[in-house]
Structure 1
Protein backbone atom coordinates (compact mmCIF):
# COMPACT_ATOMS: atom_id res chain seq x y z
CA UNK A 1 0.00 0.00 0.00
CA UNK A 2 1.34 3.43 -0.97
CA UNK A 3 0.41 6.62 0.80
CA UNK A 4 1.40 10.07 -0.42
CA UNK A 5 1.95 13.16 1.68
CA UNK A 6 3.04 16.70 0.97
CA UNK A 7 4.78 19.14 3.27
CA UNK A 8 4.89 22.64 1.79
CA UNK A 9 7.52 25.16 2.75
CA UNK A 10 11.30 25.12 2.73
CA UNK A 11 12.56 21.73 3.98
CA UNK A 12 14.83 22.25 7.00
CA UNK A 13 17.19 19.90 8.81
CA UNK A 14 16.96 19.35 12.53
CA UNK A 15 20.70 19.59 13.16
CA UNK A 16 21.61 23.02 11.82
CA UNK A 17 21.63 25.91 14.27
CA UNK A 18 20.58 23.86 17.26
CA UNK A 19 21.03 25.55 20.63
CA UNK A 20 21.79 24.61 24.21
CA UNK A 21 19.42 25.79 26.94
CA UNK A 22 19.41 25.13 30.66
CA UNK A 23 16.32 23.33 31.97
CA UNK A 24 16.14 22.51 35.67
CA UNK A 25 19.90 22.92 36.02
CA UNK A 26 20.76 20.70 33.04
CA UNK A 27 21.82 21.62 29.53
CA UNK A 28 19.58 20.39 26.73
CA UNK A 29 20.15 20.55 23.00
CA UNK A 30 17.11 21.98 21.24
CA UNK A 31 16.46 22.43 17.54
CA UNK A 32 16.65 25.88 16.00
CA UNK A 33 13.58 28.14 16.05
CA UNK A 34 13.44 27.77 12.23
CA UNK A 35 13.22 23.97 12.48
CA UNK A 36 10.64 24.19 15.27
CA UNK A 37 8.46 26.44 13.11
CA UNK A 38 8.87 24.08 10.10
CA UNK A 39 8.06 21.05 12.25
CA UNK A 40 4.91 22.66 13.69
CA UNK A 41 3.72 23.63 10.20
CA UNK A 42 4.52 20.15 8.84
CA UNK A 43 2.67 18.40 11.68
CA UNK A 44 -0.39 20.57 11.09
CA UNK A 45 -0.30 19.85 7.33
CA UNK A 46 0.08 16.10 7.87
CA UNK A 47 -2.75 15.97 10.41
CA UNK A 48 -5.06 17.53 7.81
CA UNK A 49 -3.93 14.95 5.21
CA UNK A 50 -4.26 11.91 7.50
CA UNK A 51 -7.23 12.61 9.73
CA UNK A 52 -7.52 10.02 12.49
CA UNK A 53 -5.58 7.15 10.94
CA UNK A 54 -3.75 4.51 12.93
CA UNK A 55 0.05 4.75 12.73
CA UNK A 56 1.71 2.34 10.32
CA UNK A 57 3.31 -0.36 12.47
CA UNK A 58 4.96 -2.46 9.77
CA UNK A 59 8.19 -2.07 7.79
CA UNK A 60 8.01 0.66 5.17
CA UNK A 61 9.99 2.04 2.28
CA UNK A 62 10.24 5.83 2.26
CA UNK A 63 10.79 7.98 -0.81
CA UNK A 64 11.04 11.74 -0.43
CA UNK A 65 11.74 14.33 -3.10
CA UNK A 66 12.82 17.66 -1.69
CA UNK A 67 12.41 20.92 -3.62
CA UNK A 68 14.39 23.84 -2.24
CA UNK A 69 13.49 27.51 -2.78
CA UNK A 70 17.00 28.44 -3.93
CA UNK A 71 20.62 27.30 -3.96
CA UNK A 72 21.72 29.11 -0.81
CA UNK A 73 22.06 27.37 2.56
CA UNK A 74 22.08 24.01 0.82
CA UNK A 75 21.11 21.23 3.28
CA UNK A 76 22.60 17.76 3.55
CA UNK A 77 20.27 15.00 2.40
CA UNK A 78 20.72 12.83 5.50
CA UNK A 79 19.73 15.73 7.75
CA UNK A 80 16.56 16.26 5.71
CA UNK A 81 15.73 12.55 5.82
CA UNK A 82 16.23 12.38 9.59
CA UNK A 83 13.99 15.40 10.13
CA UNK A 84 11.29 13.98 7.84
CA UNK A 85 11.36 10.58 9.55
CA UNK A 86 10.99 12.22 12.97
CA UNK A 87 8.12 14.38 11.72
CA UNK A 88 6.32 11.34 10.24
CA UNK A 89 6.58 9.60 13.60
CA UNK A 90 5.48 12.68 15.57
CA UNK A 91 2.51 13.11 13.21
CA UNK A 92 1.37 9.56 13.96
CA UNK A 93 1.90 8.34 10.40
CA UNK A 94 4.65 5.93 11.45
CA UNK A 95 4.50 4.10 14.77
CA UNK A 96 8.30 4.12 14.86
CA UNK A 97 10.75 5.67 12.40
CA UNK A 98 12.94 2.61 13.05
CA UNK A 99 10.49 0.71 10.84
CA UNK A 100 11.85 2.48 7.75
CA UNK A 101 13.74 -0.17 5.82
CA UNK A 102 15.05 2.00 3.02
CA UNK A 103 14.93 5.46 1.49
CA UNK A 104 14.54 4.22 -2.06
CA UNK A 105 14.92 7.11 -4.50
CA UNK A 106 15.04 9.85 -1.84
CA UNK A 107 16.83 12.91 -3.19
CA UNK A 108 17.01 16.66 -3.39
CA UNK A 109 15.10 16.85 -6.65
CA UNK A 110 15.46 20.49 -7.55
CA UNK A 111 14.71 24.12 -6.92
CA UNK A 112 11.19 25.52 -6.97
CA UNK A 113 11.23 29.17 -5.92
CA UNK A 114 7.46 29.44 -5.62
CA UNK A 115 6.62 26.06 -4.06
CA UNK A 116 9.44 24.57 -1.96
CA UNK A 117 8.26 21.26 -0.51
CA UNK A 118 8.82 17.66 0.46
CA UNK A 119 6.84 15.09 -1.55
CA UNK A 120 6.64 11.88 0.48
CA UNK A 121 5.65 8.35 -0.51
CA UNK A 122 5.36 5.73 2.25
CA UNK A 123 5.06 2.16 0.98
CA UNK A 124 4.20 -0.63 3.41
CA UNK A 125 6.22 -3.80 2.92
CA UNK A 126 5.03 -7.36 3.42
CA UNK A 127 7.08 -10.30 4.70
CA UNK A 128 8.37 -11.21 1.23
CA UNK A 129 9.58 -7.65 0.56
CA UNK A 130 11.18 -6.77 3.89
CA UNK A 131 14.17 -8.12 5.79
CA UNK A 132 13.01 -6.22 8.90
CA UNK A 133 10.51 -8.98 9.70
CA UNK A 134 13.47 -11.22 10.52
CA UNK A 135 15.84 -8.56 11.87
CA UNK A 136 13.96 -5.90 13.86
CA UNK A 137 13.21 -6.95 17.47
CA UNK A 138 9.60 -5.68 17.29
CA UNK A 139 8.79 -8.00 14.40
CA UNK A 140 10.82 -11.00 15.60
CA UNK A 141 8.87 -10.85 18.89
CA UNK A 142 5.51 -10.82 17.09
CA UNK A 143 6.46 -13.91 15.07
CA UNK A 144 7.58 -15.82 18.19
CA UNK A 145 4.34 -15.14 20.09
CA UNK A 146 2.13 -16.65 17.39
Structure 2
Protein backbone atom coordinates (compact mmCIF):
# COMPACT_ATOMS: atom_id res chain seq x y z
CA UNK A 1 0.00 0.00 0.00
CA UNK A 2 1.37 3.40 -0.98
CA UNK A 3 0.25 6.67 0.52
CA UNK A 4 1.47 10.27 0.19
CA UNK A 5 0.79 12.84 2.90
CA UNK A 6 1.37 16.42 1.79
CA UNK A 7 2.66 19.12 4.12
CA UNK A 8 5.86 19.72 6.07
CA UNK A 9 6.51 16.64 8.24
CA UNK A 10 6.67 17.60 11.92
CA UNK A 11 7.94 15.52 14.82
CA UNK A 12 5.72 14.92 17.79
CA UNK A 13 8.37 14.76 20.50
CA UNK A 14 10.67 17.62 19.54
CA UNK A 15 7.82 20.11 19.38
CA UNK A 16 6.12 19.37 22.69
CA UNK A 17 4.78 21.96 25.11
CA UNK A 18 4.61 21.82 28.90
CA UNK A 19 1.34 22.84 30.53
CA UNK A 20 0.21 23.05 34.14
CA UNK A 21 -3.17 21.96 35.37
CA UNK A 22 -3.38 22.72 39.06
CA UNK A 23 -0.16 21.44 40.63
CA UNK A 24 0.46 18.90 37.88
CA UNK A 25 2.56 19.50 34.80
CA UNK A 26 1.94 17.56 31.61
CA UNK A 27 3.41 17.45 28.14
CA UNK A 28 1.25 17.95 25.05
CA UNK A 29 2.13 18.12 21.36
CA UNK A 30 2.59 21.59 19.89
CA UNK A 31 -0.10 23.39 17.93
CA UNK A 32 2.00 22.90 14.78
CA UNK A 33 2.08 19.12 15.28
CA UNK A 34 -1.64 18.98 16.08
CA UNK A 35 -2.39 20.88 12.84
CA UNK A 36 -0.06 18.57 10.87
CA UNK A 37 -1.78 15.51 12.35
CA UNK A 38 -5.22 16.96 11.54
CA UNK A 39 -4.16 17.70 7.95
CA UNK A 40 -2.76 14.18 7.52
CA UNK A 41 -5.88 12.55 8.94
CA UNK A 42 -7.98 14.53 6.45
CA UNK A 43 -5.84 13.20 3.59
CA UNK A 44 -6.23 9.55 4.60
CA UNK A 45 -9.46 8.44 2.98
CA UNK A 46 -11.57 5.34 3.56
CA UNK A 47 -9.71 3.18 1.05
CA UNK A 48 -6.62 3.31 3.30
CA UNK A 49 -8.47 2.66 6.57
CA UNK A 50 -7.88 -1.08 6.71
CA UNK A 51 -6.68 -1.59 10.30
CA UNK A 52 -3.87 -3.79 9.01
CA UNK A 53 -2.56 -6.27 11.55
CA UNK A 54 -0.22 -8.56 9.59
CA UNK A 55 3.54 -8.13 9.42
CA UNK A 56 4.70 -5.08 7.48
CA UNK A 57 7.82 -3.14 6.59
CA UNK A 58 7.24 0.60 6.80
CA UNK A 59 9.27 2.58 4.25
CA UNK A 60 8.99 6.37 4.50
CA UNK A 61 10.68 9.03 2.42
CA UNK A 62 10.41 12.45 4.02
CA UNK A 63 10.75 15.47 1.74
CA UNK A 64 11.59 18.46 3.92
CA UNK A 65 11.30 22.10 2.78
CA UNK A 66 14.73 23.07 4.17
CA UNK A 67 18.07 21.34 4.52
CA UNK A 68 18.09 21.38 8.32
CA UNK A 69 19.03 18.38 10.40
CA UNK A 70 15.98 16.37 11.42
CA UNK A 71 15.47 13.39 13.70
CA UNK A 72 14.37 10.47 11.51
CA UNK A 73 13.31 8.35 14.48
CA UNK A 74 10.93 11.05 15.74
CA UNK A 75 9.52 11.57 12.24
CA UNK A 76 8.84 7.82 12.04
CA UNK A 77 7.21 7.88 15.47
CA UNK A 78 4.87 10.70 14.42
CA UNK A 79 4.02 8.92 11.16
CA UNK A 80 3.27 5.66 12.98
CA UNK A 81 1.02 7.47 15.47
CA UNK A 82 -0.88 9.11 12.61
CA UNK A 83 -1.30 5.77 10.79
CA UNK A 84 -2.72 4.20 13.96
CA UNK A 85 -5.05 7.14 14.64
CA UNK A 86 -6.27 7.03 11.02
CA UNK A 87 -6.90 3.27 11.36
CA UNK A 88 -4.50 2.37 8.56
CA UNK A 89 -2.70 -0.03 10.90
CA UNK A 90 -4.06 -1.59 14.06
CA UNK A 91 -1.02 -0.74 16.20
CA UNK A 92 2.56 0.40 15.68
CA UNK A 93 4.16 -2.31 17.81
CA UNK A 94 6.93 -4.62 16.58
CA UNK A 95 4.49 -7.45 15.86
CA UNK A 96 2.87 -5.43 13.06
CA UNK A 97 5.61 -3.04 11.93
CA UNK A 98 8.51 -5.49 11.91
CA UNK A 99 10.98 -3.11 10.21
CA UNK A 100 11.52 0.44 9.00
CA UNK A 101 13.79 -0.29 6.05
CA UNK A 102 14.61 2.27 3.35
CA UNK A 103 13.48 5.29 5.39
CA UNK A 104 15.30 8.51 4.60
CA UNK A 105 15.08 12.29 4.51
CA UNK A 106 15.37 14.25 1.24
CA UNK A 107 14.84 17.88 0.25
CA UNK A 108 11.97 19.40 -1.77
CA UNK A 109 11.39 23.09 -1.05
CA UNK A 110 8.29 23.36 -3.25
CA UNK A 111 6.44 20.20 -2.20
CA UNK A 112 7.19 18.93 1.35
CA UNK A 113 5.57 15.57 2.01
CA UNK A 114 6.05 12.04 3.26
CA UNK A 115 5.74 9.08 0.91
CA UNK A 116 4.69 6.00 2.86
CA UNK A 117 4.80 2.41 1.69
CA UNK A 118 3.58 -0.52 3.75
CA UNK A 119 5.05 -3.75 2.37
CA UNK A 120 3.71 -7.10 3.54
CA UNK A 121 6.44 -9.31 4.98
CA UNK A 122 6.05 -13.06 5.03
CA UNK A 123 6.55 -14.69 8.39
CA UNK A 124 10.13 -15.92 8.12
CA UNK A 125 11.70 -17.99 10.83
CA UNK A 126 15.44 -17.51 11.12
CA UNK A 127 17.49 -20.50 12.12
CA UNK A 128 20.27 -19.13 14.33
CA UNK A 129 22.47 -22.17 13.61
CA UNK A 130 22.61 -21.21 9.92
CA UNK A 131 23.92 -17.69 10.62
Q: Could you tell me the TM-score, scaled by structure 2's length?
A: 0.85
State yes or no: 1:36 paired with 2:31: no
Gaps of 5+ in 1: 132-146
Looking at structure 1, the residues matched to 112 and 48 of structure 2 have their Cα atoms a distance apart, in angstroms, of: 27
- Identify the residue that residue 78 of structure 1 maps to in structure 2: 73
Gaps of 5+ in 2: 127-131
Correspondence list, 1:19-98, <5 A: 19-23=17-21, 26-46=24-44, 48=45, 50-51=46-47, 53-72=49-68, 74-98=69-93
- Describe the SS at the equivalent of 2:115: strand
Looking at structure 2, the residues matched to 11 and 71 of structure 1 have their Cα atoms a distance apart, in angstroms, of: 13
CA offset digits 1:101-124 (Å, max 9, x no partner): 11110010x211111000000012
1:21 Cα offset (Å): 1.6
1:24 Cα offset (Å): 6.3
Q: Is the 8 A contact 1:12 1:75 kept in 2?
A: no
State yes or no: 1:122 paired with 2:114: no
**Relative to structure 1, is the Cα distance of residues 53 and 16 closer, same or farther in structure 2, using a 3 angstrom cutoff?**
closer
